Amino acid sequence: MTPAGRVTRRTLLRAAAAGATATAAGCAGGGRSVQVAVVWSGSELDRFREVVATYPDPVRVVSAGNDIDAFLRARHLAGTSPDVAILSRPGLVTEYAARGWLRPVRPSTEYAVPIGLSDLLLTGGQRYGVWVKAAHKSLVWHLPSMLPEQPTSWDELVSLTRRLGALARRGDGPAPLAIGAADGWVLTDWFENVLADLAPSAYDALAGPDADWQGRPVRDTLDRLAELWSVDGAFPGGGRRALLTQYEESVIQVVRSRRAVMVFEADFTAEVVGRFRSGPEEPVTFRFPSAGTGAGALIVGGDVAVVFADARGGVELVEWLTRADSFRPWLRAGGYLSPNTTIALTDYADPVRRQLAREMRGPDTLHFDLSDQLPGAFTGSDGVGIWRIMQDFFSDVTDGVSAGAAVRRATGQLAAAARDAGGGR
C-alpha cells in the first residue's frame, strides 16, 4: 500500500464520517461541540467542566488520563483527533508540532507567563500551545507542632535530618522525612530541585539534544541527594520500606499517623492533606532549601492546551482559556494555580495558592519540570526511564552502597537511557 493510497482512503473515510456527523448534527438541530481531551480525572475534571460551561459554545470534555499520548496517537491514526487536548508534558507539544499534527495558537492579550515557561511551547518560531494550569513543585510540608523551626538551607536540612534520624533510630521520635519512593516522579522532583539550585544553566541543557548526563552538575546533584538520603533513620521503616511507599501514603505518614516530620512535594499535596488530616492543625510549607543563601530554585509543572490541525473551533477555545477570568470557577473552588501572571492575586480564594502564585511571579529563575521534557521512554513511567533510574539510585544509597559507586551507576544508566531515547551524548 502506498502512503498516497493510504492518505486518499483515510481522507475519504474521514469525509464520510464528517458527512455522517454533520447529517446527525443537522438532524439534531444543534451546533457541533468542541471536543477537548484532558489528562485530568476526578475532581480536577469536574472543575474543568465547570470552567468550560461558561464558554459560549458547547464543549465536550473527555478524560484520557495519564495515557493521553497513546490515546492521541490512536486517534490520529484513525483520523479522529479531538479538537483540543490538554497535555502535561511540553515535550509532547514540540513532538506533535514537529510531526505536523498541531496548528499554531494565539493567546489572548490578558495572557503572560513567567520567563522560561513560554519558550518551551515554541517550534520553528511558532507557538503551538498555551499553559493553562501550573503546579508549584518546590515545597516541603510539615505540621507546625512537629517542627518548630524550619531549616533555611540545604545544610540545615541535612543536619536536622541527622539529628531527628538519630532520635528516630532510638525510637524517641518520628523519622525526619517521608518519601513516596514507590512513585518514581517523586524522586525526579527531588533531583530537579537540587539540580536547578546547584546548576541552573545545566538544568535547561539537560532537556536538549546535547544533554551531558555524566557531567559534573549531574554528579554533584546525585552526591548531594546521596548525602541526605543515606542518613540512617531518615525515612520511616528505612529505604526498603520507602520504595514501597506511594506518594499519598507518604503524606499520610506526616499529617495523620505522624510517623514522619516532613514531606516534600508540590502544591497538589494540599488535596491529600485535606482528606487525611486529623485534628485542627493545618500543615505549613517552606521552600525547598537552597545550598546557598536565599530562596532555592523553583520547579514548576503544568498543563498545556494545544489545537489539532484539522480542528474546528479549537483555536477560539484556547484563546478564551488564556483570558484572565476564564478559570474563575476553579480559582474560587480552590486547588488551582494559574500560570497566567495577569490574574489578580486577590482572585485566589485560598491563601496558600495566593502565596505560591506570588512566588511564581518573583525574580527567581523558574524551571519547568525536567523529566516531563525528556524524550520518549526516558521521561519515565513505572519501571521505565528516569523514574526507574532514580529508584535504583535511591535503593543503592539507602542500602549502604557508597555514594561514589551509586552515582557512577546512575549516571551511566542516565546516559544510556538518553542515548536510547535519541538524545544526549
**Contact status: 91 vs another protein (CB under 8 A):** no
Residue from 20, 24, 53, 78 in contact with another protein (CB under 8 A): 78
Select from 100, 82, 104, 80 the least CA-distant residue to 38: 82
| CB nearer to another protein: pick between 78 and 344 | 78
**Contact status: 109 vs another protein (CB under 8 A):** no
Segment contacting another protein by CB under 8 A, of 125-133, 175-183, 202-210, 328-336: 175-183
Residue from 106, 163, 216, 241 in contact with another protein (CB under 8 A): 241
60: cell is: 465536550
Q: Identify the burial level of 169 via C-beta atoms within 10 angstroms of its C-beta, where 0-12 means exposed, 13-18 middle and 19 or more buried.
A: middle
- Give me the 358-377 binding string for another protein, x by CB under 8 A, dash otherwise: -------------------x
Residue 173 is which amino acid? Answer: G
Handedness of CA 307, 312, 316, 320 (dihedral sign): negative
**Contact status: 9 vs another protein (CB under 8 A):** yes
Smallest gap, in angstroms, from Cβ of residue 245 to another protein?
A: 8
At 178 the three-state DSSP class reads strand
**Contact status: 384 vs another protein (CB under 8 A):** yes
Q: In the window 111-170, what residues touch another protein (CB under 8 A)?
A: none
| CB nearer to another protein: pick between 13 and 22 | 13
Angle between helices 184-198 and 216-229 (to 10 degrees): 120
The answer to whether 198 and 217 are in contact (CB under 8 A) is yes
Handedness of CA 347, 348, 349, 355 (dihedral sign): negative
Smallest gap, in angstroms, from Cβ of residue 198 to another protein?
A: 25
Question: Where would I find the H helices in 105-153?
Answer: none
Smallest gap, in angstroms, from Cβ of residue 341 to another protein?
A: 32
Helix (H) or strand (E) holding 161: helix 154-170
The label of the residue with cell 525574580 reads 363
Residue 140 is which amino acid? Answer: V
Q: Identify the burial level of 383 via C-beta atoms within 10 angstroms of its C-beta, where 0-12 means exposed, 13-18 middle and 19 or more buried.
A: exposed
| CB nearer to another protein: pick between 327 and 394 | 394
| CB nearer to another protein: pick between 256 and 354 | 256
**Contact status: 10 vs another protein (CB under 8 A):** yes
- Largest Cα–Cα separation, the chain: 75
Residue from 348, 368, 387, 393 in contact with another protein (CB under 8 A): 387
Select from 242, 36, 266, 14 the least CA-distant residue to 135: 266
Residue from 26, 58, 65, 144 in contact with another protein (CB under 8 A): 65
**Contact status: 381 vs another protein (CB under 8 A):** yes
**Contact status: 74 vs another protein (CB under 8 A):** yes
| CB nearer to another protein: pick between 189 and 364 | 189
**Contact status: 350 vs another protein (CB under 8 A):** no
What is the size of the binding site for another protein (CB under 8 A)? 50
- Give me the 269-298 binding string for another protein, x by CB under 8 A, dash otherwise: ---x--xx----------------------
| CB nearer to another protein: pick between 187 and 407 | 187
In what side-by-side order are the strands of the sheet with 260-264? Answer: 175-178, 260-264, 139-142, 284-287
**Contact status: 391 vs another protein (CB under 8 A):** yes
The answer to whether 299 and 196 are in contact (CB under 8 A) is yes
If phi > 0 it is left, if psi is from -120 to 50 it is alpha, else beta; for residue 187 that is: alpha
**DSSP track, 100-113:** T-EE-----TT---
Select from 228, 222, 227, 272 the least CA-distant residue to 247: 272
- Give me the 221-240 binding string for another protein, x by CB under 8 A, dash otherwise: ----------------xx-x
Residue from 7, 11, 13, 208 in contact with another protein (CB under 8 A): 13
Please tell me the distance from the alpha carbon of residue 251 to that of residue 229, in angstroms, as a whole number.
18
Helix (H) or strand (E) holding 392: helix 385-398
The answer to whether 353 and 337 are in contact (CB under 8 A) is yes
Segment contacting another protein by CB under 8 A, of 105-113, 313-321, 367-375, 380-388: 380-388
Smallest gap, in angstroms, from Cβ of residue 347 to another protein?
A: 29
Smallest gap, in angstroms, from Cβ of residue 387 to another protein?
A: 7
Residue from 34, 48, 63, 285 in contact with another protein (CB under 8 A): 63
Query: Any residues with CB less than 8 A from the CB of 263 and at least 6 apart, and which?
Result: 140, 141, 142, 177, 178, 179, 250, 251, 253, 254, 269
Q: Which residues bind another protein (CB under 8 A)?
A: 9-10, 13, 17, 37, 41, 62-65, 69-71, 73-75, 77-80, 181-184, 237-238, 240-241, 243-244, 246-249, 251-252, 256-257, 272, 275-276, 377, 381-384, 387-388, 391, 395
